[in-house]
Amino acid sequence: MAAPFTAFDRRRALLVHSGLAAGALLILAATAALQISQRDFYRLQADQNRIAAELVPARRGSIYDRHGHLLARDRTCLNACLLPTQVSTATLPALLAELERLTGVPRARLAERAQRAARRFGPFAPQPLLTDIDPGQLARLAALGSELPGIAITAAYRREYPQGESAAHVLGYLNEINRREYAQLGERGYRLGDLIGRSGVEESAEPLLRGSAGLNWLEVDARQHPVRVLTEPAPQPAAAGADIYLTLDWRLQRAAEAAFPAGRNGGVVAFDPRDGAVRVLVSRPAYDPNVFIAGDAERITAYQGGAGHAMLNRAIAGQYPAGSTFKIIDALAALADPRFSPGTRFACGGALALGSTVFHCWNRGGHGSLAMVDAIRQSCNVYFYQLGIKLGPDPIAAMARQLGLGAPTGISLAGEAAGLVPDRAWKARQRGLDPEWKSGDSANFAIGQGALQVTPLQMAMAFSAVANGGDILRPQLVERAVTPDGTVTHTLTPDRLRHIPFSDTALATVRAGLQQAIIAGTGRQAATFASGESLEHLPAGKTGTAQVGDLNGNGRIDDSEQSHAWFVAYWPVVDPQLVIAVFVEHGGYGGAVAAPVARQVFAVLDRPGADGG
């Protein structure tokens, strides 16, 4: 018979159970430490495990012309996205092969897109493989949906420019922010892969257009699969961006684009001289902003690196000699000097000899003796050579600067050029040039040649002061911004930069010269068919033919060395509503090439019932 539980056994059992009790107490203490004192810490960690933010994209605002004609918008599109959390590396090749079969996009391309998206959005985010899929693709993908696990069709916004190349330089384009920019833009709510306006209004009105993305809080499981949408924390709805109504007038823009000589480079800009509202802005060659959205690398490279410099907005950033359009600035400068009057006459014999150099008039036969109005009408070079030499460069340069030349106008587009207005001091500063300002310099300067460089917008601005009696207004592009709830957050207010106190005589003389140039001078091509005799339908303007010289030095003027054609005008003569500058690079004679473009624009304004206000 075995002995029952002995005292020895009791001691040993006590020892064992004491050890067990101590262990249990340790466990209890450790659990309590985690669950009581560190509860909040661990609950936060648990939430960080399970809560993932899903971005709800914001619709970017649309862009319209002043009458509501659509120029740019975000439309909804469907993307086929790879859900990396539902696809293993083993099943991915088969999935991509199936997608290739369904859509015809090579699997290598799809894999590359997936990798790019993974680098950009992180390893768990949906990776767009096919953007903007068409209904046919959608049907094929949906029909096989159950056999394509890991592919989700998601809705997104896609920027669209229904007018293609039209007004491209006004609208600008979008592309993705890069990592370097993300470092700065990140704190303003941008994420890698977001689109941002790169030029034009898309860039300058970016803060208005962008809106703000919303957030949905998702509960995800350990494999990052979304399980449900959480209501706590509360989701942040996306706020669409504001719609922008431009000052641009689509009819005028189309007319200018259609009339611009095909295949030529150049720019057209027109604005209302009463408030600075830009109605037309054309630059050629143009680009199609849709190409940047589609990511067509070949065409983007052609735009950005091509010989035509399509990205350059020639209307505001192209710098050229002003040619004869500059002559009104000579006249305005002269009439501010008591030595000159409208009756000041100079004789033209077809040329003027200064030292050993002979400066020609375009009319080799000569204009005879001319007063100022006729000199402007005939665009007589010899008259203005003499006026310029007598006046000296500095008053002319001062007047040019007053009128907006030599500095950016302040239009809200990036990349505007300043141009160059030379004077005595400028020449003295130049290395490699004779520091002394010669009468030949004055002669060249007076006809808008030499070192002078202007942009089409600056010339339009100079003419607008003549049209409106001396006001220099900052050209503006945005008429109003309207938020999605209908609130108008921005309306155009004229921004008068300065006023030039022209004498009535000066204004009357120059206006008469510009008017005569249209009726009976160099600008006849700009007269509208319907203009008749009435001043209410008649433009006033000045042609220019800026010589570029023998650029390649082969001793003759090639086609690529043809003169630049200018025409700057306002319309109508009475109460001008529009000032326009047309510039055609190497276009030939301004009267023949540039003036007809303006005429087509005026014709639209002149049409009965057209809204000119």
Partner 1 sequence: MAESDRVLFAATLILVGIGLLCLAGSAHTNEAYFSYCSRQLLWGLAGLALMLAVSRLDYAVWQRLVWPLYGGTLAALLATTLFGATIRGSTSWISLGWFNVQTSEFAKVALALALAHAVCRRADTEWSGDYDRVVIRRLGAVLALGLPPLLLIILQSDLGTALTLLPMLLLALLFGGLPLGLLALGLGTGLLTVILIVIQLLARWSPAGHNHAVFITRLLTERELALPLFALLAVAALAAGYVGSAFTAAPGGGARRPQLLRSLLLLLVLIVLAAQLSGICISRLKPYQQQRLISFIDPHAQPLQGGYNVLQAKIAIGAGGLWGRGFGNGTQHRLGFLPEAHTDFIFAIWAEEWGLAGVVLLLAAYGLLARCTWRIAAQSRDRWCAAFTLIYSGGLYLQALFNLGMNLGLLPIMGVPLPLVSYGGSSLVSTLFGLGIILAIWRHRLAFRGGIS
| Bridging pattern class, strands 266-271 and 70-82 | unpaired
Quick count: other Cβ atoms within 10 Å of Cβ 361? 22
- Among the listed residues 8, 135, 556, 613, the single contact to partner 1 using CB under 8 A: 8
Closest to partner 1 by CB, 20 vs 610, is 20
Q: Which DSSP state fits 113?
A: H
- Among the listed residues 18, 35, 88, 91, the single contact to partner 1 using CB under 8 A: 35
Residue 406 structure tokens: 């030599």
Near partner 1 by CB under 8 A, which window of 13-21, 208-216, 432-440, 536-544? 13-21
Q: Does 223 bind partner 1 (CB under 8 A)?
A: yes
| Beta strands per DSSP E along 459-604 | 471-473, 478-482, 488-491, 496-499, 540-546, 564-571, 578-584
Residue 601: phi and psi, rounded to 5, are: -70, -45
Minimum gap (Å) between residue 267 Cβ and partner 1: 59
Residue with tokens 């106190």: 501
Q: Does 17 bind partner 1 (CB under 8 A)?
A: yes
Residue 402 structure tokens: 């007053």
Minimum gap (Å) between residue 226 Cβ and partner 1: 11
Alpha helix stretches (DSSP H) within 346-434: 372-378, 381-391, 393-402, 424-429
Quick count: other Cβ atoms within 10 Å of Cβ 239? 17
Closest to partner 1 by CB, 42 vs 134, is 42
Instruction: Write out the binding residues for partner 1, residues 70-99 only, by CB under 8 A.
Output: none
Conformational region of residue 132, where left means phi above 0, alpha means psi within -120 to 50, and beta covers everything else? left
Q: Does 49 bind partner 1 (CB under 8 A)?
A: yes
Quick count: other Cβ atoms within 10 Å of Cβ 365? 9
Minimum gap (Å) between residue 121 Cβ and partner 1: 20
Minimum gap (Å) between residue 215 Cβ and partner 1: 19
Collect contacts of 480-489 with beta carbons under 8 A, ≥24 apart.
480/244, 480/245, 481/61, 481/205, 481/208, 481/242, 481/243, 481/244, 481/245, 482/242, 482/243, 482/245, 483/242, 484/239, 484/240, 484/242, 484/243, 489/208, 489/242
- Among the listed residues 92, 111, 220, 371, the single contact to partner 1 using CB under 8 A: 220
> Mask 368-407, x = binds partner 1 (CB under 8 A)?
----------------------------------------
Q: Does 229 bind partner 1 (CB under 8 A)?
A: no
CA 268-271-277 angle, 5° bins: 135
Minimum gap (Å) between residue 25 Cβ and partner 1: 9
Q: Which DSSP state fits 239?
A: B
Q: How many Cα atoms are found within 13 Å in the side-chain-facing hemisphere of 158?
A: 19
Task: Name beta bridge partners: 63.
Answer: 72, 244
Near partner 1 by CB under 8 A, which window of 22-30, 189-197, 255-263, 313-321? 22-30
Q: Does 45 bind partner 1 (CB under 8 A)?
A: yes
Minimum gap (Å) between residue 2 Cβ and partner 1: 4
Q: Does 36 bind partner 1 (CB under 8 A)?
A: yes
Minimum gap (Å) between residue 41 Cβ and partner 1: 7
Residue 119 structure tokens: 């680098």
Minimum gap (Å) between residue 29 Cβ and partner 1: 10
Minimum gap (Å) between residue 479 Cβ and partner 1: 52
Minimum gap (Å) between residue 217 Cβ and partner 1: 13
Residue 63 structure tokens: 């862009």
Residue 444 structure tokens: 């060249």
Closest to partner 1 by CB, 52 vs 451, is 52
Query: Residue 526: which of 595, 573, 581 has the closest Cα?
Result: 595
Q: Does 13 bind partner 1 (CB under 8 A)?
A: yes
User: Do 393 and 333 touch, CB atoms closer than 8 A?
Assistant: no
Q: Which DSSP state fits 355?
A: T
Q: Does 15 bind partner 1 (CB under 8 A)?
A: yes
| Bridging pattern class, strands 243-246 and 478-482 | antiparallel
Near partner 1 by CB under 8 A, which window of 40-48, 208-216, 322-330, 460-468? 40-48
Closest to partner 1 by CB, 10 vs 496, is 10
Binding residue count for partner 1, defined by CB under 8 A? 43
Closest to partner 1 by CB, 49 vs 552, is 49
Residue 537 structure tokens: 């339908």
Give the whole-angstrom CA distance, residue 30 versus residue 53: 33
- Among the listed residues 116, 122, 139, 221, the single contact to partner 1 using CB under 8 A: 221
- Among the listed residues 5, 339, 431, 432, the single contact to partner 1 using CB under 8 A: 5
- Among the listed residues 219, 296, 394, 561, the single contact to partner 1 using CB under 8 A: 219
Q: Does 552 bind partner 1 (CB under 8 A)?
A: no
Closest to partner 1 by CB, 13 vs 97, is 13
356 is catalytic: no
- Among the listed residues 90, 155, 222, 262, the single contact to partner 1 using CB under 8 A: 222
Give the whole-angstrom CA distance, residue 512 versus residue 535: 12
Catalytic residue among 62, 166, 324, 379: 324
Closest to partner 1 by CB, 4 vs 365, is 4
Q: Does 155 bind partner 1 (CB under 8 A)?
A: no
Q: Does 262 bind partner 1 (CB under 8 A)?
A: no
Catalytic annotation, residues:
324
Q: Which residues bind partner 1 (CB under 8 A)?
A: 1-6, 8-10, 12-13, 15-17, 20-21, 23-24, 26-28, 30-32, 34-36, 38-39, 41-43, 45-47, 49-50, 219-223, 227
